[in-house]
Structure 1
Amino acid sequence: MRVRATRRVKVGAAVAVALALAAAGLGASGGGDDKEPVGAAQVASTLGPGEGMLNLLTLPGATEGGSTDPRVDWVTPFQERTGCKVGLKVAKTPEDMAGLMRDKDRRYDGVAAPPEVAGRLIAENEVAPVNTDLVDGYKKLEPKLRGQLRRDGKYYGIPYVWGVNLLMYDTRAVPQPGSWAALFDPGQARRYSGKLVMRDSPLAIAEAALYLKGKERKLKIRDPYSLTPRQLAAAGRVLAAQRPHVGQYWERPAEAVSAFAGGRAVLGQAWPYQVDVLNRASRPVQGVIPSEGVTGWMDAWMIGARVQHPNCMYQWLQWTASPDVQQQVAEWTGVAPANPLACSGDRLKPGFCAAYRVGDRDYIDDITFAHAPSKTCGRAGKSEEAEKSDCTDYAEWTRTWIESTKL
């Protein structure tokens, strides 16, 4: 079962759906002993000549070399400029990605990791720290994004793309909602029974936790991604009560677009992507930030702990952080670029940048960005209850999600 939506859908295709209503130090190669222990790669201190190869791991659509659409290619120019030939492995799901990174017989130089994967790879020493001084343009990336993968004073990723989880509604059928209660309160959800949509991801539990944070203050929820067993169980009950009213748990963004476009959905979780696509197709939908706040996510490039081609990897980090490449990635994937300079000049259209709130620091600062749930209550500090108890990890979140929405 896929438990997390793949975001990689070409925007133009979704518009059509809507309209149709349907590790050695750098300077030496890390390619010696395959029995090198996990986590042996250290923070690089210098940048040397490229090794001629680069092995990357991504989710579908995150890295394009022209095979899907010959006009969409930021791999070939990189190879021509650096001499680093890119070998690309596409994982079907985040769980597949995590499993491949753990495989001691594989040595990926880099991985474009979503939050539920990134945190676990750091905890398991499957990725190496990044020397951000070796990444040109790093300080141009959004400040809040740069801090998402900082642990014990070290940085473990270079921000790639980001987004936010909004509450989207059909303005013809639903009065403007002001709270997540519109989606999670049983009485309110019943009004639109069968026409609610939810992301099919264990991390969607966090929105239920935001709802409970305001409604059940005795639970003392602070960080919606750091939940004690009691808090997680409460969120699970909310999702189980909501389940009879959910018409679809969407995996691919285009599925939510199609549901709203065809009138099969009027309220649900969505990204700015779906709001933008439907608005451009003249559909009467809006995305709002509920009073309890919103969650968000960031994908980042990380260096594998068994990196074999570190110099080429650092060149790739620089390449993918550059404004021109960020512009291509944002247009293709329909997500916000981590580098606001992608919106400078004539790179991205002003309407796109406005829709995704690129460069709006006040907006970004109010987002609670996702991190992998862990027993140690994550990186954001413990709640009052968590100070007396361990938190729940991603495996427990996955089990709760399945029990609440699938069984």
Structure 2
Amino acid sequence: MRLSRLFKVAVATGALLSVTACGSSDGTGSSSVSGLNPPDLTARTELGESEGQVNLIAWAGYVEDGTNDPEADWVTPFEEKTGCQVETKVAASSDEMVKLMKTGRYDAVSASGDASLRLIASGDAAPVNTDLVPNYQDVFIGLLQQDWNSYEGTAYGIPHGRGANLLMYNTEKVKPAPDSWSAVFDEASKYKGRVTAYDSPIYIADAALYLRETQPGLGIDNPYALDENQFKAAVELLEEQNANVGEYWSDYLKEVSAFKSGDSVVGTTWEVIKNLTQAEGAKVDAVLPQEGATGWSDTWMLSAKAKHPNCAYKWMDWIISPEVNAEVAEWYGEAPANVKSCDLTSDPAFCDTYHATDENFWADIAVWTTPIEQCLDGRTDIKCVPYSKWVQAWTEIKG
């Protein structure tokens, strides 16, 4: 299997990459989002002349100009075609992206679902007129008008790609092969000290998703919409898990190294990390558990204070064009957003590997969405626990 070139470069240089598209949070600088009542902003109705520049905030690997690998360059042709010179700030967490967007110095950001509603609620992200993004018509239907990229039928961004949080395990140490998240929760003591978990407050949703299936009496529907009782149950489950966790990972290569050495034998991962770990010789595999899983989808969002909105719109259309979206998906290791990209990947099996066209697969994925007091599952008689309390609880869970 052809690996993402981004990670080949990382391994060759020994670089330790921070978590990127999945939006890790260090718990600092997070905005408190109580309810989703965004200011009344209006999307542009037409585009004007290019301003000659666009300033982006992005995850590592999303805006490549040939510096990391001469073969990975979709910035230079964009600049040549549009006259918009690209300046990029690589962010290491969703919280950092939220803070940077508040400065007004940037035109667009590749936000994950644990940041997007914060940007919408605060008025830092503007509505997007998708009619001004021609390639939007070819975006997979499962990415359109979702809780993490829209509000009341108004699009607040252009989908970039998506991925699932899978269960990875050592095929020699974990037998029989697990098919449930119970391997890292109720049965985690079997692998005490060698369980690994994703290091972010949004991981609380993984516990909630598991409880949704195993404790139906809690009434959990959406793992990002938890009332106080449901939230308490998820936190207690993670506190119990903590005693068996050897490492919380927030770095691709550290998880690869831990599974290679045997320090970790079971835990949450991404498809691309599984592929890289297997290529490094580790005896691992990954599965979508029977309870389903959480996942992520990144969205290019326009700053409400954008100084170069015309170039930003051109960038959003460019990054999801069939050829470019195929290139960035293979480079990074994720399912592309554009349907037509699957015919253009260098690996003919790429979209099958990443389940790009399998909407039944994505139906079992609860994509990261910022928790807010206004319950995302439709309940109006109760307040849900907002993200700020998730951040606080995560710090306490880890001790």
TM-score by length of 1: 0.86
CA gap of 1:244–1:393, structure 2 versus 1, over 3 A, is: same
Partner of 2:382: 389
Q: Give the distance between the partners of 2:284 and 2:95, measured in 1 at CA.
A: 32
Task: Please name the residue that 2:86 is paired with.
Answer: 86
- Name the Cα RMSD after superposition: 2.1
Q: Encode CA deviations 1:22-41: one digit per residue, 9 max, x unaligned.
A: xxxxxxxxxxxxxxxx9676
1:87-122 CA-to-partner distances (Å, cap 9, x unmatched) read 22223322111112123xx23211111111111101
1:12 aligns with 2:8: yes
Letter in 1 for 2:270: W
Aligned AA (1:96): E
Residue 351 of structure 1: CA displacement?
A: 3.4
How far, CA to CA, are the matches of 2:145 and 2:372 in structure 1?
Answer: 18
**Contact 1:228–1:391 under 8 Å retained in 2:** yes
Q: Does the 8 A contact of 2:325 with 2:336 survive in 1? A: yes
* 1:363 has 2:356 as partner: no
Q: Which residue in 2 is equivalent to 1:21?
A: none
Q: Name the SS for the 1:10 alignment partner.
A: helix
* Distance (whole Å) between structure 1 residues aligned to residue 13 and residue 49 of structure 2: 46
Query: Residue 68 and residue 360 in structure 1: after superposition, are their counterparts in 2 closer, same or farther (change >3 A)?
Result: same
CA contact (8 A) 2:164 2:293 kept: yes
State the partner residue of 2:393: 400
Deviations 1:153-198 (A, max 9, x none): 210010112100111111211122122111111xx11111111111
The equivalences for 1:285-300 within 5 A come to 285-300=284-299
Q: Is the 8 A contact 1:48 1:311 kept in 2?
A: yes
Q: Kindly state the Cα deviation for residue 357 of structure 1 after the two structures are TM-superposed.
A: 0.9
- Aligned positions of 1:80-119 closer than 5 A: 80-103=80-103, 106-119=104-117
Equivalent runs, 1:335-350 vs 2, <5 Å: 335-345=334-344, 347-350=345-348
The answer for the alignment partner of 2:177 in structure 1 is 176
Alignment of 1:56-71 (within 5 A): 56-71=56-71
Asked if 1 retains the 8 angstrom alpha-carbon contact of 2:9 and 2:68, the reply is no
Label 1:229 to 1:163 Cα distance change in 2 as closer, same or farther (>3 A): same
> Is the contact between residue 258 and residue 264 of structure 2 (CA under 8 Å) also seen in structure 1?
yes
Q: Which amino acid aligns with 1:84?
A: C
Letter in 1 for 2:183: A
Deviations 1:292-332 (A, max 9, x none): 11111101101100112221111111100112111221122
**Match of 2:32?**
none
CA contact (8 A) 1:165 1:271 kept: yes
Deviates more, 1:313-322 or 1:146-155: 146-155
Does residue 48 (structure 1) correspond to residue 45 (structure 2)? The answer is: no
**Partner of 1:273 in structure 2?**
272
**Residue number in structure 2 paired with 1:31:** none
Taking structure 1 as reference, are residues 9 and 116 closer, same or farther at Cα in structure 2, changes over 3 Å only? farther
SS of 2:264's equivalent in the other structure is coil
SS in 2 for 1:107: coil
Contact 1:40 1:306 (C-alpha < 8 Å) held by counterparts: no
Structure 1 outlier segments of 4+, above 6 Å: 14-18
Q: Does the 8 A contact of 1:109 with 1:307 survive in 2? A: yes
Equivalent residue number for residue 301 of structure 1: 300
Question: Structure 1: which 5+ residue stretches go unaligned?
Answer: 1-7, 19-37
> Counterpart of 2:268 in 1: which secondary structure?
strand
For structure 1, which segment, 214-223 or 127-136, has the greater mean C-alpha deviation from structure 2 after superposition?
Answer: 214-223
SS at 2:191 equivalent = coil
Change beyond 3 A, Cα 1:95–1:9: farther
| Structure 1 residue 48, shift from structure 2 partner | 2.4
**Whole-angstrom distance in 2 between the partners of 1:338 and 1:359:** 10
Determine the structure 2 residue equivalent to 1:163. 163
Aligned pair count reads 370
List aligned pairs for 1:145-224, cutoff 5 A.
Answer: 145-148=143-146, 149-174=149-174, 175-185=176-186, 188-224=187-223
* Equivalent position SS for 2:134: coil
Preserved CA contact (<8 Å) 2:108 2:300: yes
In the alignment, the residues of structure 2 paired with residue 182 and residue 266 of structure 1 have an alpha-carbon distance, to the nearest angstrom, of: 10
Question: What residue number does 1:4 align with?
Answer: none
Cα separation, partners in 2 of 1:87 and 1:13, compared to 1, 3 Å: closer
Judge conservation of contact 1:41–1:306 (CA < 8 Å) in 2.
no
Matched to 1:184, the amino acid is F
What secondary structure does 1:65 align onto? coil
Q: Structure 1 residues 279, 16: closer, same or farther in 2, change over 3 A?
A: farther
Report SS of the residue matched to 2:161: strand
| Runs of 5+ consecutive residues of structure 2 not aligned to the other structure | 15-37
TM (normalized to structure 2)? 0.87
C-alpha change, 1:268 and 1:157, in structure 2 (3 Å) is same
TM superposition shift of 1:67: 2.7
Partner of 1:122: 120
SS in 1 for 2:77: helix
Between the aligned residues of both structures, percent identity stands at 41
> Which residue identity lines up with residue 348 of structure 1 in the other structure?
S
What amino acid does structure 2 have at the position aligned with 1:164? A
Say if 2:260 and 2:281, in contact at 8 Å, map to a contact too. Answer: no
CA contact (8 A) 1:17 1:258 kept: no
